[in-house]
């Protein structure tokens, strides 16, 4: 009697895999109704972007899916070399380059351009050789040129920036610059009211820029249209931190602090204290943060923001997600390992997420890893 051999189950193909395979075999002239149905079933923004790139008829069929895509959880932009990598935690998948436009053929040095992500879908690309700058949308391939940055930006790797529909704010430490959009200004302009501001991060939310100074844990709120200072939120009573981050969610401002002595405990302890304040109140007062409910905070060295966790099976509520890097091995100091940590506000403990990033060596570049929310919206 023969024993039946167990068959290894084959992974089920997603609609985008089937559609792309059909296009590759000459089936790109499918009925528009069928294409629209297929596009409507896509849930990952990268799949929608690939679907739209097949041809003009497929792009038209995906118009509704691209205009109002399903909510997306944050991705990571990883500054690997020679190509940027984009990590989707929900899929546990790493994408190379996505739709980043290639550097001009006559300017090979632009292959070394630095890329800094904003949660709003755009990235700031800077050429370190001549400080030429542009906005690049990695999910659509769109590019918007900006004026070259001043020469003093070449003197440091520190950068704070964010994008708003009104323009771009940037800093490499002391003082802030602004470049208006629509139309794009011919040069960067200083913001006199913030000439002495030692900015470590900038967040744009709801018509305002939130400029954070890590050394004193102070946040200055700036109107995105007039560039006038709307409010200044001083630090709570904390020991001077060695690391601090802010995150903005509507009327709420969150401050996450890691004191110097916390590093004695290694990677298992993330933030020692967390605070919340209503930045629109008449007399804003920081209060120690017990929890954030059904939300997750995402923080990196550039930005901090909140995401509702409903509908995302890979996100834990009341949790802070951050990304860290560590030298891969002593024999190859030019490589690094990235990992994602989840810090529970409920039990004040941190864990490293099991994913494809763990153990993968990547070449070190000048930028830091940063969170981005996938989007096909360029406005």
pLDDT at residue 34 in the model: 81
User: What confidence tens digit (pLDDT) does each residue in 65-124 have?
Assistant: 767 767 789 999 988 766 788 999 988 988 887 766 655 544 444 447 888 999 998 999
User: What confidence tens digit (pLDDT) does each residue in 341-369 have?
Assistant: 998 988 888 888 999 888 888 877 778 89
79 close to 366: Cβ distance less than 8 angstroms: yes
Give yes or no for residue 236 having a pLDDT over 50.
yes
Per-residue HEC secondary structure of 127-153 comes to: CCCCCCEEEECCCCCCEEEECCCCHHH
Q: What are phi and psi of 150, to 5 degrees?
A: -60, 160
Apex CA 310: angle with CA 339 and CA 316, to 5°? 35
Average pLDDT over residues 140-157: 88
**What is residue 253's DSSP assignment?**
E
Percent of the chain with pLDDT over 70: 81
Which two three-digit tokens encode residue 222?
Answer: 């700036």
Query: Which among 42-46, 124-128, 150-154, 221-225 has the top mean pLDDT?
Result: 221-225
pLDDT at residue 99 in the model: 67
pLDDT at residue 22 in the model: 55
C-alpha 236/C-alpha 226 separation (Å) is: 28
pLDDT at residue 347 in the model: 86
Strand duo 273-278 + 252-259: pairing? antiparallel
More confident residue, 120 or 49: 120
296 close to 306: Cβ distance less than 8 angstroms: yes
C-alpha 218/C-alpha 206 separation (Å) is: 20
Give yes or no for residue 46 having a pLDDT over 50.
yes
Domains of the chain: 15-66 (no CATH), 71-372 (2.40.128.630)
More confident residue, 184 or 66: 184
Mean pLDDT (the chain, rounded): 82
* DSSP string covering 257-304: EEEGGGGGGGGG---SEEEEEETTSSS---EE----SSEEEEE-SS-E
pLDDT at residue 102 in the model: 59
The verdict on pTM exceeding 0.85 is no
């Amino acid at each position: 009697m023969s024993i039946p051999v167990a068959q290894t189950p084959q992974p089920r193909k997603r609609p985008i895999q089937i559609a792309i395979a059909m296009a590759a075999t000459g089936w790109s002239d499918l009925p528009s109704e069928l294409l629209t149905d297929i596009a409507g079933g896509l849930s990952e923004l990268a799949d929608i972007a690939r679907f739209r790139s097949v041809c003009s008829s497929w792009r038209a069929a995906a118009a509704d899916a691209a205009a109002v895509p399903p909510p997306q959880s944050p991705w990571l932009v990883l500054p690997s070399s020679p190509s940027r990598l984009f990590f989707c935690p929900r899929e546990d998948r790493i994408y190379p380059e996505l739709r980043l436009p290639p550097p001009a053929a006559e300017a090979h040095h632009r292959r070394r351009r630095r890329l800094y992500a904003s949660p709003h879908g755009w990235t700031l690309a800077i050429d370190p050789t001549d400080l030429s700058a542009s906005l690049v949308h990695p999910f659509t391939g769109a590019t918007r040129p900006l004026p070259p940055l001043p020469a003093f930006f070449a003197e440091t790797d520190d950068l704070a920036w964010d994008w708003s529909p009104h323009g771009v704010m940037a800093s490499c430490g002391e003082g802030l610059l602004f470049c208006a959009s629509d139309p794009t200004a011919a040069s960067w302009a200083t913001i006199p009211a913030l000439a002495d501001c030692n900015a470590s991060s900038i967040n744009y939310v709801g018509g305002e820029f939130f400029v954070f100074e890590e050394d004193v844990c102070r946040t200055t709120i700036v109107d995105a249209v007039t560039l006038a200072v709307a409010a200044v939120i001083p630090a709570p009573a904390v020991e001077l931190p060695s690391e601090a981050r802010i995150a903005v969610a509507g009327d709420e401002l969150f401050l996450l602090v890691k004191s110097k002595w916390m590093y004695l405990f290694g990677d298992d302890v993330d933030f020692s204290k967390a605070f919340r304040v209503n930045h629109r109140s008449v007399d804003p007062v920081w209060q120690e943060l017990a929890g954030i409910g059904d939300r997750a905070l995402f923080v990196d060295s550039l930005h901090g923001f909140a995401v509702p966790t409903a509908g995302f099976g890979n996100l834990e509520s009341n949790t802070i997600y951050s990304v860290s890097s560590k030298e891969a091995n002593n024999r190859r100091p030019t490589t690094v390992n990235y990992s994602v940590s989840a810090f529970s506000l409920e039990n004040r403990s941190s864990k490293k997420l099991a994913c494809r990033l763990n153990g993968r060596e990547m070449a070190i570049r000048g930028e830091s890893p940063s969170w981005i929310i996938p989007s096909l919206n360029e406005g």
